């Protein structure tokens, strides 16, 4: 092959790659006078474009980003990245999409795991049967003890949670002392040696309560468990580097005795650098007219905050394992928060010994809300009810006044 022909073929190949690339800009505006850190930017991808990799740059510098296939059909649905914004600041990012290659690899700031119990391993933080998804039928009596740490666990540098794999589907909490990823090492069961090294631990006893924002049914007076279902599933949809997404699916849930069974998926999205998680519930049909519930545990001797407009929180202390099993543990102090937007909030229920509850509903097949928490152990967190409730107020303002995202083709 002569040099001229080789040059032409090389030029043709370069041209073909260029044609396969889609480039556009995204302008992000902070509409407030507050500095905003670790702000998620999520872009929907055209299903007709077979995106295989992406590069996001700001002023010519590449920043970490993430492609996610949310519906698991083999095609990426969303591209996300994080941005910091000064007061009233406007930033413009360049996005390049490619139909070749592999997703870019960046250091992960999040982690998620599902672990099947390994009966041969006695050390509580050394189990090794990793799963990405598990589904069990209704005749399995005890899925709670099937999985190590009783369900999917997920974290970022600030917080970590697990979701019980049973009818409660409670969100339980892990408190850290220092920022960093820990769950892969501690598996929610921190050893004495790890505690001495400064690792965190379970900080909340939840029992049959909501814990932090578990989704439940409602019988007109009290919350009801996600009990009568045909199949239960937990899965990890995305696992970094920017966000982790886990789902709890209930197929054939008999939410109301005289109505057909429902299929329901509860999706938890946790971004790096943030202490809140998005909770989105999707049903297989419109559930207008059916009441549900959620809320937060009434931590023992807790102080409550409510703005009576969907924001509710508490600050309190209790044994993280129940007082009778408290050997080796100390009382833990936590601040909890939940925000139910107007579209889904039907009523705020009076506090009882177990929960600060909301009755929620929807005019469609989707319900959305947010959850957040802090542990008094944190070197980087909040250490009084006053400071925690002040954070909750600012948190709500940020949710209600999101950044403005404009795509420029």
In sequence order, what DSSP letters do the residues of 318-358 get, joined into one string?
E-TT-GGG-TT---EEEEEEEE--TTTEEEEPPP-SSEEEE
Judged by average pLDDT, the poorest of 2-6, 25-29, 58-62 is 2-6
Whether 3 shows a pLDDT value over 70: the answer reads no
Token pair, residue 15, equals: 């041209």
Give the pTM.
Answer: 0.94
Domains of the chain as residue ranges with CATH: 20-106 (2.60.40.1180), 110-405 (2.70.98.50)
Asked if residue 75 lies in contact with residue 50, where contact means CB atoms within 8 angstroms, the answer is: yes
Q: Tens of pLDDT along 312-344?
A: 999 999 999 866 556 667 899 999 999 999 999
CA distance 330 to 333: 10
Q: Which residue, 43, 30, 107, 36, is CA-closest to 76?
A: 43
Whether 5 shows a pLDDT value over 70: the answer reads no
CA distance 226 to 100: 43
The answer to whether the bond into 241 is cis (omega within 30° of 0) is yes
Supply the pLDDT for residue 28.
98
Whether 97 shows a pLDDT value over 90: the answer reads yes
Asked if residue 202 lies in contact with residue 182, where contact means CB atoms within 8 angstroms, the answer is: no
What phi-psi label fits residue 311: left (phi over 0), alpha (psi between -120 and 50 degrees) or beta? Answer: beta
Q: Tens of pLDDT along 281-324?
A: 999 999 999 999 999 999 998 999 999 999 999 999 999 986 65
Using only C-alpha atoms, what is the Rg of the chain?
23
Measured CA to CA in angstroms, residue 157 lies from 190, 239, 378 at distances of: 17, 14, 11
């Amino acid at each position: 092959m002569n040099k001229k022909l080789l040059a032409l073929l090389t030029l043709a190949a370069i041209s073909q790659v260029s044609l396969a690339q889609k480039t556009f800009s995204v302008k992000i505006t902070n509409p407030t006078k507050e500095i905003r850190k670790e702000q998620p930017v999520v872009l929907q991808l055209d299903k007709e474009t077979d995106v295989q990799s992406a590069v996001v740059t700001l002023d010519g510098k590449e920043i970490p980003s993430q492609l996610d296939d949310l519906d698991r059909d083999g095609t990426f649905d969303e591209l996300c990245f994080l941005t910091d914004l000064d007061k009233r600041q406007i930033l413009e990012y360049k996005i390049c999409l490619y139909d070749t290659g592999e997703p870019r690899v960046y250091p992960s700031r999040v982690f998620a795991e599902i672990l099947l119990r390994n009966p041969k391993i006695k050390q509580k933080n050394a189990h090794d049967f990793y799963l990405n998804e598990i589904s069990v039928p209704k005749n399995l009596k005890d899925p709670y003890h099937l999985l190590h740490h009783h369900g999917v666990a997920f974290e970022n540098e600030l917080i970590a949670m697990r979701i019980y794999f049973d009818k409660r589907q409670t969100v339980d909490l892990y408190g850290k002392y220092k920022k960093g990823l820990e769950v892969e090492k501690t598996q929610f069961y921190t050893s004495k040696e790890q505690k001495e090294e400064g690792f965190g631990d379970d900080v909340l006893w939840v029992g049959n309560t909501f814990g932090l924002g578990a989704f439940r049914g409602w019988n007109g007076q009290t919350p009801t468990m996600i009990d009568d279902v045909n199949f239960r599933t937990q899965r990890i949809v995305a696992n970094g580097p920017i966000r982790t997404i886990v789902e709890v699916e209930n197929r054939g849930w008999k939410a109301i005795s005289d109505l057909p069974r429902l299929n329901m998926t509860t999706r938890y999205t946790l971004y790096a650098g943030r202490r809140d998680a998005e909770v989105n519930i999707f049903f297989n049909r419109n559930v207008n007219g059916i009441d549900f519930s959620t809320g937060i545990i009434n931590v023992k001797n807790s102080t409550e905050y409510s703005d009576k407009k969907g924001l509710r929180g508490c600050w309190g202390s209790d044994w993280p394992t129940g007082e009778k099993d408290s050997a080796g543990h100390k009382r833990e102090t936590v601040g909890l928060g939940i925000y139910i937007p107007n579209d889904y909030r039907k009523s705020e229920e009076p506090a009882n010994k177990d929960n600060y509850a909301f009755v929620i509903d929807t005019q469609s097949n989707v319900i959305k809300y947010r959850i957040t928490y802090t542990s008094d152990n944190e070197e980087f967190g909040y250490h009084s009810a006053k400071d925690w409730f002040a954070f909750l107020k600012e948190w709500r303002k940020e949710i209600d006044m999101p950044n403005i995202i404009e795509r420029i083709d």
